[in-house]
Amino acid sequence: MNIPGDLCLSPFFTCSDLYVTDIRIIPGSTDNGLPDANLQLLFAKLDTFQYNGDGLQSVADPSQSFFEKISSCCQSIQHLYIIKDPTMTQIPNGFSLLPNLEDAYLSFYFTTSQSVTLKSNPNIQYLTVYGNEMLTEINFDETISFPKLTTLSLGGHQFSGPSLLKTVGNFTTATFPQMTTLECIFPEGSNQLQLFVNHSTLVEIKFPETPVDPPPNAIVTFGSASLSAIKSIDFYGGGLTFQPSLNNFINLSSISSLKYTSMFNNQYPFVSFPLVYHLSFPNSSFTTIPSITLPSYLESLVFKYGVLQGDIDFDTILANTTGNLALDLSDNPLLAVPLELETALCGLKFLDLRETLATSIPPCYWCHNDGSKFYPPTATLPSVSPNAPTQNLAIQFSSTTNTQIFQVIEAGFNVSSVILIQSPNQQATMTIVFSMINTNIPHSTKLNNTGENSYVDNNMIFTFYYSNLAFGQYNLSILNAYYNYSTTVQYNQSYPIVDSFIQQGPYIGNGSLIQLVGFFGNYLTSALVSVSNKNNLYNYSECINVSFTNTTINCQIDLPLSSGLATFNITVDGYSTFKQVDIQSPQQYCTITTNNCYGNGECNLSGICECNSNQGGGGYYNNCSKTYPFITSANVESIQGEQRFISLYGDFGPFGQVNTLIMINNTMNCNITYKSQHNINCTLESSPTTFGFASVQVNSSGSIYSKARCLIFINPLPSGGGTTTSSSSSSGGGETPTPKQTCETTTQNCYGHGTCDNNGKCQCQDKYNPVDNCSTKFTENTTFTPNNTSPSSTIQVGGVEFGFQIIGIQERGLDNEILKELLTSSWVPNITSDQNSDLTNAVYELVVPSNHTLSNTKVTANVSFSTQPRNIPFGTQNLTINPNAIKLSVSIAGWQYSSNVATLLLLLKTTINNEQSIEYDCKTTPVDSFSFGDFGDIQYLRVIKDNVQFNGRFIDFALADGRSTYSQTLLINQTQLLDSSDSSEQSVVVIGITLPQCQECLLDPDFTPLLVASDGDGCSKQDEKWKMIVGIVVGAVGAACLSVGAYHAVKKIRRHMILNGKSILMHKRN
C-alpha cells in the first residue's frame, strides 16, 4: 500500500524500500473514532506483526480485528505476536492461508468463559496459544494438521481467579507429525485435566513454572509411542500424575522437577529407578536424600536451592557409584554437618558444596578446591588474602593431628572480561578485567604463543599492547609463574566500516563531493581516500580536502573518472577498507540524459555538450537540442495601403537578440521595433513595389538564417477582369478566342453539366464538381476499409480501389541531403466507430525503437471516414469535407533537428498510370498524372483505373504555432513497374510534403469520391454507366514549425519547374 511520508518515522513501523516490514504496537488511549469497515489493507512485504496489550484496553469497533484480516493483507508475514488483543476472540480460518508463517504467539484475554480451536497451517514451526483463567477448552483433533510444527506451547494463566480449563485435545503424531517439544501450562483450578500424549517424534515435554500460576494439576497418560520417544520430562511442583509411572519409559534420559513436593516425604516421583542419566530437584521439599542406592549409570543428581539437613546415608546412596556421578548439593544453607568421614563422597566425579554450612570435608578434596572436581563449602578451609605477597598459613587437617605451618600465596585469578580492540598505527590494545587477581605476582599474556609488547597494571584492569596484529581469532593464555588460564578472543576490525555512500549530484567527476557514512573510530588521527577502477582511461583519483568525524568522511574527487564499478579505498589511522560503488561519469550522464547531445554534438569529460557546426550558419543551445535562428511563420500587415509592418515568429535564440538584423529579399532593411526569443517585429522604410513571395534573412550576432517564400506582398491594384465577350485581332489577323470560348472548346461545354462564364470557368449544376469542369459528380456510395495494422487505407467503389501509404519521414539539410530518416513500418492501431455521427475513426501510434536516435519522436496518424459532410477548421479557413470522404491527419512531435535550416519531408507512396485519358462526346482527352503550380508545387494528382479517376489536390500552406506558413508538395520519385515483358502501364510514385522545422506538425488530407458520366452516343465501346472519381485534398499544418532554408527552397522550385514539362520521366533519388 502507499506509505504516508511520516509513517516510517513512527516507532511502531519499520520500512525498507518503501514497504512496511515490521509493525510493533503498544496500545494507548488515543480516540481516533470508528475505523472504516471497508478499508482494504495491503502490506505486501510485512515480516513481523506484534501487538502487546494488557487486556484492559477498549476499542471503538470490537468486530474489526486485524487478526481476521491478516490473511488477506499480509501474505508475506513470518512472525506473528498478538498478546491480549480485545478484538481477538478466536483463531480465524485465514490462519491456514498464511504460507510464510514461521512462528506465532497468541495470548487470548477473555472476559467470559470461552474455548479456542486450533487452525491448521502448512509451514509454521513454533506455535504458542495461551488464554487467561476464562479459557475452558483448547480444541484440536486429527482433522487439524501442522506438518512442520516442531514446538508447541499451550495452556492457561491465572490472573484473577481459578482456571476454568477442563479439556485439551489429544497430542498425536497425525496432528503434529514433526513435533519434538511440548510445553503445557495447566495451573491448578476447579477441574483436574486429563491429558493424553501418544506421539512418536516428541522427545521433550515440559510443565514449566510461571510467575502468576500455581503448580499444574493434571493426569498425564502416555501412549506406547511416547514411552519409546520421550527423552526428557521437566515439570513443576507435585500435582502431576504420570500414567504409567516414569520407570516405564524406555529412552528417558533426564527428569527435572522444580519445587518438587512428593505426596510422601522424601520420595522420588517414581516407584523404581528408570533408565535415566540426569535427575534434578532444585528448590524441592527434600530434607534428606532418599536412602535408595543410585544406579551406576546415573551421571548427575541435583538438590540445589533446597532444605537438606542432618545426616545423609551416603554409604547406601553411593554404594554403586563408579566415578561418573556429579552431585550438586549447593545452596542448602541447613546442611551443617561434618563430612570428613564420608569417604563415599570420594568416588564422585564432581561435588558441589557451595553455600552450605558443612563443617568439614573428606581429605580427598583438600587439594581440589579449584572447581575442576570440587567446590568447597563456605569457610571450611582457612582463608588466604587474595591480593598479598607470600604469607604463613596454619592448617590442622583433623582433630587428631597437629597444626602445620605453610608459606602460601594466592596465584589464581578470575577473569571477568577480555576485550581486544584497534588502536591507531596498527597497534592492538587488549584490556582484561579481573574480578580477583594478586597484583603481587607478575602476569603476562600470549596470543597464539606470541607475547605482548608491554602492559599496564591498574588494580583489577590489565592493559596489554600488540603491534601489527592481524584480525581474526586467537588462543589467549593469561599466566603467571603458578597458574595458566586459556580462552579464545576475537580481534575484529571495528573501523573503518563503510555502511553507505552519498554523492552530491547524479554523477562523479572532477570536483564532485562525496560522503562516506559508517564508523571510523574514536581516535580520528588520519584519513585517506582514493578511487580506482579497471578502465584503461581515467581510472584513478585521490579524494582531497578530507574532513571526517567518527561517523562520516567528506572529500572531493580530484581527477576525472570513467563510468563503471569503482573501488573507494579508505584508510583511517593506518587501517584500510574499501567500498565498491557503480558510478556514472559526467560524460556518460550527459550522453544518456541528452541522447548524446541530441545527435548534434558530443559530451566532453566535464559533462558539457560541445555542439557541431550548424550547417545553416546558426547556433545551438539547451545541450545542442535547439537550433537558432529560424522562422516558423511570418505576417505582413497592411496599414493604409502600406505593406511595411512585418511580424516574424520562430526561435531567435535565448541570448537577448543582441545585434540582430533583418533583411527582405537581401535588399530591403527591416528596422526592428520589438524583439524576443520567439517574436520579432520590424518595419520597412518604404512599401515594396515588387509583389509576390519574398525571402527573409536574419543575422543574430553572426548566426545566419535565410528563408525563401517566407512572406507574400500583395499587389493592391485590382487585376484585369475577365468579363469581356469581344474578340481581338491576333498578329496574323485572326480573332483570339475569348476565355468563355476557350472554356467551351476545352471542356466540351463543361461536359454537359454546366456552362462556361466570361472568365472561362465552369459553373456546374448541383452536385457536380467544378474542379473537374463539371465532368464529375459527388457520389453517395463509397466503401472505406480501415487498415488493422497501419494508416495505409484504401477507398473502393465497384471493385476499383485506390490506396496510399505513409512510408517515412526525412530530415533534409541545406543541400537537400538526408540527415535523418524515420521509417513508418510499425504502428499500434486503435479503431473506433460512432453510429450516431456515422464516423469511423482509426488512430495509429508509430512504434519507434528505443535505440533509435529519434526515440523521443512521436508520430500519430488519424484516418477518419463519414458518409456525412464535415467542416474541418484549418488555420483561418474551414475545409469542407464532402460526404463519403476520407480524412487523414498525421502529427509529428518531438523531432530533434540537426541545424536551423533543416526541414522535414513526409513521404507518401501510391501507384499512377504512365498514360491515361477520359472520353466524352466521342473525344478522347489526355489526363496528366500531375499538374503543377507556378512554383513547381504539385497541385493535383490524377489516377484513372478502369474508367475510375482518382484526383488529388494539395494545399500549399501549413500552420506553425497556430499561424500560417508555406508548404510544398513535391514529386520525389517515379519508378515504372515492370511486368514479364519489361513494360508496364503503371509506376510507383513517392510524393513528399515539406514541413518547416517544427516540434509538432500536422497534415490534413481528405479523399472525396466523385462520379463521371459517359455521353452514351454509341461512339465508345464501353457500357454506359457512371464511373468513379476520388478527389484528394491535402493540407499541411505545423503547430510549431521551423524554417526552410532559402537555398533548399530554390532547389525545390528549380527541380519541379522541370517536372512541369509535358513528359514526366524521373529516376530514383538516392
Return the CATH fold of 497-589.
Answer: Immunoglobulin-like (2.60.40)
* Dist CA 1061 CA 66 (whole Å): 87
* Least confident residue range of 534-538, 611-615, 710-714, 931-935: 931-935
Look at residue 547 in the predicted model and tell me its pLDDT.
Answer: 93
Taking residues 992-1002, report their average pLDDT: 80
What percent helix, strand, coil does the chain show, rounded to 5?
Answer: 5, 45, 50
Look at residue 982 in the predicted model and tell me its pLDDT.
Answer: 58
- Residue 1043 predicted with pLDDT over 70: no
- Residue 1030 predicted with pLDDT over 60: no
Q: Which three cell numbers stand for residue 140?
A: 484440536
Taking residues 404-413, report their average pLDDT: 84
Higher pLDDT, residue 394 or 901: 901
pLDDT band per the 50, 70, 90 thresholds, residue 1027: very low
* Dist CA 118 CA 138 (whole Å): 7
pLDDT band per the 50, 70, 90 thresholds, residue 1022: very low
- Residue 398 predicted with pLDDT over 70: no
* Dist CA 301 CA 777 (whole Å): 120
Look at residue 879 in the predicted model and tell me its pLDDT.
Answer: 75
Provide the sign of the torsion angle of the four alpha carbons 934, 940, 941, 946, taken in this order.
Answer: negative
Look at residue 862 in the predicted model and tell me its pLDDT.
Answer: 87
Look at residue 959 in the predicted model and tell me its pLDDT.
Answer: 74
Taking residues 560-567, report their average pLDDT: 93
Taking residues 163-168, report their average pLDDT: 87
Look at residue 966 in the predicted model and tell me its pLDDT.
Answer: 81
* Dist CA 930 CA 970 (whole Å): 10
929 CB neighbour count, 10 Å cutoff: 21
- Residue 1067 predicted with pLDDT over 80: no
Spatial CA neighbour of 964 closest among 876, 871, 873: 876
What are the strands, taking DSSP E only, across 584-641? 601-603, 609-611, 619-621, 626-628, 630-639
Higher pLDDT, residue 989 or 3: 989
Helix or strand or coil: residue 600? coil
Mean pLDDT across the chain: 83
**Is 465 in contact with 422 (CB distance < 8 Å)?**
no
- Residue 1032 predicted with pLDDT over 50: no
Higher pLDDT, residue 114 or 722: 114
- Residue 451 predicted with pLDDT over 90: no
Q: Burial, 421: exposed, middle or buried (Cβ in 10 Å; 0-12, 13-18, 19+)?
A: middle
**Is 918 in contact with 925 (CB distance < 8 Å)?**
yes
Go through the chain and tell me how many residues it has. 1070
Spatial CA neighbour of 943 closest among 925, 958, 928, 955: 928
98 CB neighbour count, 10 Å cutoff: 21
Chain centroid to Cα 443, Å, comes to 60
* Dist CA 197 CA 221 (whole Å): 6
Residue whose cell numbers read 600465596? 409
**Is 425 in contact with 417 (CB distance < 8 Å)?**
no
Residue whose cell numbers read 468579363? 723
Taking residues 920-945, report their average pLDDT: 80
SS (H, E, C) 259-303: CCCCCCCCCCCCCCCCCCCEEECCCCCCCCCCCCCCCCCCCEEEC
Residue whose cell numbers read 460512432? 834
* Interacting residues of 362 by C-beta distance below 8 A, sequence separation 6+: 339, 340, 341, 342, 343, 345, 346
Q: Which three cell numbers stand for residue 152?
A: 508447541
Q: Burial, 569: exposed, middle or buried (Cβ in 10 Å; 0-12, 13-18, 19+)?
A: middle
202 CB neighbour count, 10 Å cutoff: 23
- Residue 990 predicted with pLDDT over 90: yes
**Is 422 in contact with 495 (CB distance < 8 Å)?**
yes
Q: Which three cell numbers stand for residue 798?
A: 465497384
Q: Which three cell numbers stand for residue 863?
A: 484516418
Q: What is the pLDDT of residues 735-774, one digit of tens each?
A: 789 999 999 988 889 988 999 999 999 999 988 888 888 8
Look at residue 1026 in the predicted model and tell me its pLDDT.
Answer: 39
Residue whose cell numbers read 552450605? 356
Which residue intervals of 666-810 are DSSP H helices? 739-746, 748-751
Proportion of the chain above pLDDT 70, given as a percent: 87
**Is 862 in contact with 829 (CB distance < 8 Å)?**
no
781 CB neighbour count, 10 Å cutoff: 11
Radius of gyration of the chain, Cα coordinates, nearest whole angstrom: 52
Taking residues 55-79, report their average pLDDT: 85
DSSP state for residue 23 in the 8-state scheme: E
Half-sphere exposure of 642 (CA within 13 A, CB side): 9
Look at residue 1023 in the predicted model and tell me its pLDDT.
Answer: 39
Peptide bond into 244 cis (omega under 30): yes
Half-sphere exposure of 32 (CA within 13 A, CB side): 8
**Is 707 in contact with 699 (CB distance < 8 Å)?**
no
Return the CATH fold of 622-713.
Answer: Immunoglobulin-like (2.60.40)
- Residue 89 predicted with pLDDT over 60: yes
* Dist CA 586 CA 385 (whole Å): 74
Chain centroid to Cα 950, Å, comes to 55
Reading across the β-sheet that carries 513-519, which strands appear in turn?
497-503, 513-519, 552-557, 540-548, 527-532, 564-572, 575-583
Look at residue 1061 in the predicted model and tell me its pLDDT.
Answer: 28
**Is 660 in contact with 680 (CB distance < 8 Å)?**
yes
b/e for 882-903, b at 16 or more Cβ within 10 A?
A: bbbbbbbbbbbbebbbbbbbbb
Q: Which amino acid is at 473?
A: Q
pLDDT band per the 50, 70, 90 thresholds, residue 563: very high
* Interacting residues of 850 by C-beta distance below 8 A, sequence separation 6+: none
Proportion of the chain above pLDDT 90, given as a percent: 41
* Least confident residue range of 173-182, 789-798, 1022-1031: 1022-1031
**Is 222 in contact with 195 (CB distance < 8 Å)?**
no
Biggest CA-to-CA distance, the chain: 178
**Is 572 in contact with 521 (CB distance < 8 Å)?**
yes
- Residue 1069 predicted with pLDDT over 80: no
pLDDT band per the 50, 70, 90 thresholds, residue 686: very high
pLDDT band per the 50, 70, 90 thresholds, residue 663: very high
Spatial CA neighbour of 330 closest among 265, 282, 290, 278: 282
Instruction: Give CA separation, 1068 vs 576, 972, 974, 976, 1061, in Å.
Output: 70, 8, 7, 10, 18
* Dist CA 812 CA 1032 (whole Å): 26
Look at residue 1051 in the predicted model and tell me its pLDDT.
Answer: 35
Q: What is the pLDDT of residues 455-501, one digit of tens each?
A: 777 788 999 988 889 999 999 999 998 899 999 999 999 999 999 99
Look at residue 364 in the predicted model and tell me its pLDDT.
Answer: 81
Look at residue 891 in the predicted model and tell me its pLDDT.
Answer: 85
Q: What's the N-to-C CA distance of the chain in angstroms?
A: 58
**Is 353 in contact with 328 (CB distance < 8 Å)?**
no
- Residue 699 predicted with pLDDT over 60: yes
Which residue intervals of 156-239 are DSSP H helices? 224-229
Chain centroid to Cα 182, Å, comes to 44
- Residue 138 predicted with pLDDT over 90: yes
Q: What is the pLDDT of residues 279-309, one digit of tens each?
A: 999 999 999 999 999 999 999 999 999 999 9
Look at residue 1038 in the predicted model and tell me its pLDDT.
Answer: 37
H helix count then E strand count, the chain: 8, 81
* Dist CA 823 CA 805 (whole Å): 12
Taking residues 603-627, report their average pLDDT: 89
Provide the sign of the torsion angle of the four alpha carbons 438, 370, 447, 460, taken in this order.
Answer: negative
- CATH number listed for the domain at residues 414-491: 2.60.40.2450
Q: What is the pLDDT of residues 328-349, one digit of tens each?
A: 999 998 998 888 888 899 899 9
Taking residues 155-168, report their average pLDDT: 83
DSSP state for residue 765 in the 8-state scheme: P
**Is 875 in contact with 959 (CB distance < 8 Å)?**
yes
DSSP secondary structure string, 844-880? Answer: EEE---TTSTTTT-EEEEEEEEESS-EEEEETTEEEE
Look at residue 618 in the predicted model and tell me its pLDDT.
Answer: 83
- Residue 1014 predicted with pLDDT over 70: no
DSSP state for residue 336 in the 8-state scheme: -
Spatial CA neighbour of 892 closest among 863, 864, 865, 854: 854
- Residue 853 predicted with pLDDT over 90: no
pLDDT band per the 50, 70, 90 thresholds, residue 27: confident
Taking residues 203-214, report their average pLDDT: 83
